[in-house]
């Protein structure tokens, strides 16, 4: 299998590169501002130049493209909607068009922020979308442009992505921040009024490649099976750090002023991916154990 990872230096992208290498696939990638340390063929590519993606396909000749690149700064999208709409909305459709024309499979990554957060049960893949900030609106537009351009793309929505970046080998995302605070004896204020199903990047990468191997198409949710608050996530990390949970303090989303509104509840129902792969998604505790065992 010849795999091309768009956004190979992102948290998810670096994990998809590594997962592909571990399966013995021929992996190549694109990066934006920082070239990752992988010893694979790499091309600098800006999603805003999606019209020229044909050249990238000619250079790497992939069987499958996984697009892990996006404008992921939720507040940055709110203040720069034009860029967000090009990078997250238009570009995925452009990539899908070129893949379709070249008979290349296309896999695209989306987000739980396509939902408004008013539900209190995990969102299924068929639940109504209603994003409440520019980021979610631009990502939903990306899903739509991809499905308009190709009938057989695989689109995976993730939630609250965290894990080990496989080029820098650093723990990245929320647990890195909590772990740092706990290890330095600092207080960690964590929300008790937000609910998410955190996606471990390494687990998502393996799941994506399993779905590709099964030639699955359509929309999937990839996340852990635990719908938890950041405070509860912090408790699991505190257990693993061996630090006092007294350093965790209860916070509210209302305590923080941010440009973009966040949904209070964006847990994803993972039943479809579990059924497709005939195995359960991990719990949060299982994901944290996997990462802690692998930490340098
Ligand atoms: N992070 C989350 O909590 C979360 C939650 C749900 C869904 N997702 C989705 O999951 C996917 C992967 O996210 P991630 O967590 O791995 O994010 P990430 O670590 O921020 O990676 C995003 C990558 O996109 C690249 N990028 C940004 N602008 C670009 C441009 N104009 N052209 C080309 N590349 C560009 C970035 O490169 P530079 O840094 O060099 O600009 C970076 O390598 C995204 O589709 C995201 O929307 C993320």
Characterize the bridge pairing of strands 2-6 and 64-67.
parallel
**Confidence at residue 244, expressed as pLDDT on a 0 to 100 scale:** 65
pLDDT on residue 94: 97
Region of poorest pLDDT, from 100-114, 144-158, 240-254: 240-254
pLDDT in tens, 113-127: 999 999 999 999 999
Residue 227 has pLDDT above 80, yes or no: yes
Residue 243 CA to ligand 1 center (angstroms) comes to 31
Q: Is residue 236 part of a domain?
A: no
Q: What is the pLDDT of residue 296?
A: 65
Residue 40 lies in a domain: yes
Residue 253 falls inside a structural domain: no
Largest CA distance in the chain: 57
Tell me, what's the pLDDT at 49?
Answer: 98
**Residues designated as active site:** 135
Contact indicator for 220, 255 with CB cutoff of 8 Å = no
pLDDT at 151 (0 to 100):
82
Q: Are 74 and 139 in contact (CB under 8 A)?
A: no
Residue 246 lies in a domain: no
Poorest-pLDDT segment among 23-32, 48-57, 235-244: 235-244
- In a domain? residue 290: no
Does residue 249 surpass a pLDDT of 90? yes
Q: Give the mean model confidence (pLDDT) for residues 129-148.
A: 97
Where residue 279 falls (left for φ over 0; alpha for ψ -120 to 50; beta otherwise) is beta
* Residue 64 contacts residue 1 (beta carbons within 8 Å): yes
Q: In angstroms, rounded to a whole number, what is the distance separating the alpha carbons of residues 224 and 73?
A: 22
Please state the domain count of the chain.
1
Residue 130 lies in a domain: yes
Nearest CA to ligand 1 atom 10: 109
- Tell me the percentage of the chain whose pLDDT exceeds 70: 99
Residue whose entry in the numeric block shows the structure tokens 């010893």: 39
Would 97 be classed as within a structural domain? yes
Residue 210 is part of a domain; what is its CATH number? 3.40.50.720
- Provide the pairing of β-strand 26-31 with 42-44: parallel
How far is 117 from 127, CA to CA, in rounded Å?
Answer: 11
Question: Is the C-beta atom of 10 inside 6 A of ligand 1?
Answer: yes
What is the three-class DSSP state of 265?
strand
- Comparing CA positions, the residue from 65, 73, 1 lying closest to residue 30 is 65
Closest CA to 111 of 143, 152, 147, 145: 143
Q: How many CA atoms lie within 13 A of 187 on its CB side?
A: 4
Task: Say yes or no to pLDDT of 71 above 80.
Answer: yes
Task: Give the sheet arrangement for strand 154-158, strand by strand.
Answer: 42-44, 26-31, 2-6, 64-67, 105-111, 154-158, 218-221
Confidence band for 266, pLDDT divided at 50, 70 and 90? very high
Cβ atoms of 156 and 218 closer than 8 Å: no
Q: What domain range includes position 26?
A: 2-164+197-225+268-283
Residue 294: pLDDT over 80: no
Q: How high is the pLDDT of residue 250?
A: 95
| Ligand 1 contact via 7 beta carbon (within 6 Å) | yes
Whether 292 shows a pLDDT value over 90: the answer reads no
Banded model confidence at residue 295, pLDDT cuts 50, 70, 90: confident
Compute, in angstroms, the gap from residue 67 CA to the centroid of ligand 1. Answer: 9
Cα angle 111, 165, 183; round to 5:
105
Which pLDDT tens digit goes with each residue over 196-215?
999 999 999 999 999 999 99
Angle between helices 91-101 and 53-60 (to 10 degrees): 50
Assess if residue 37 is contained within a domain: yes
- Residues constituting the chain: 296
Nearest CA to ligand 1 atom 7: 111
């Amino acid at each position: 299998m010849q795999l091309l990872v768009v956004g190979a230096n992102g948290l998810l992208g670096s994990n998809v590169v590594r997962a592909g290498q571990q399966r013995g696939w021929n992996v190549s990638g694109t990066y934006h501002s920082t070239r990752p340390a992988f010893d694979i063929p790499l091309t600098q590519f800006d999603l805003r130049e999606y019209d020229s993606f044909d050249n990238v396909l000619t250079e790497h000749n992939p069987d499958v493209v996984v697009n892990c690149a996006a404008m992921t700064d939720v507040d940055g999208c709110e203040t720069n909607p034009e860029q967000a709409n090009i990078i997250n909305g238009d570009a995925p459709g452009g990539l899908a068009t070129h893949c379709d024309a070249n008979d290349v499979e296309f896999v695209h990554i989306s987000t739980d922020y396509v939902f408004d957060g008013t539900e209190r049960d995990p969102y299924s893949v068929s639940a109504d979308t209603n994003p409440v900030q520019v980021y979610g609106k631009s990502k939903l537009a990306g899903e739509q442009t991809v499905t308009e351009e190709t009938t057989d793309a695989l689109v995976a929505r993730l939630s609250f992505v965290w894990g080990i970046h496989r080029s820098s080998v650093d723990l990245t995302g929320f647990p890195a921040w909590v772990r740092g605070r706990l290890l330095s004896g600092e207080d960690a204020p964590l929300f008790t009024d937000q609910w998410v199903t955190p996606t471990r990047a390494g687990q998502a990468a393996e799941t994506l490649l399993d779905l590709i191997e099964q030639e699955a198409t359509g929309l999937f949710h990839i996340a852990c099976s635990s719908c938890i608050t950041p405070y509860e996530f912090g408790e699991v990390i505190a257990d693993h750090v061996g630090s006092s949970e007294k350093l965790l303090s209860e916070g509210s989303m209302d305590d923080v002023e941010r440009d973009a509104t966040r949904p209070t509840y964006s847990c994803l129902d993972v039943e479809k991916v579990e059924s497709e792969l005939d195995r359960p998604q991990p719990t949060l505790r299982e994901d944290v154990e996997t990462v802690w065992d692998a930490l340098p």
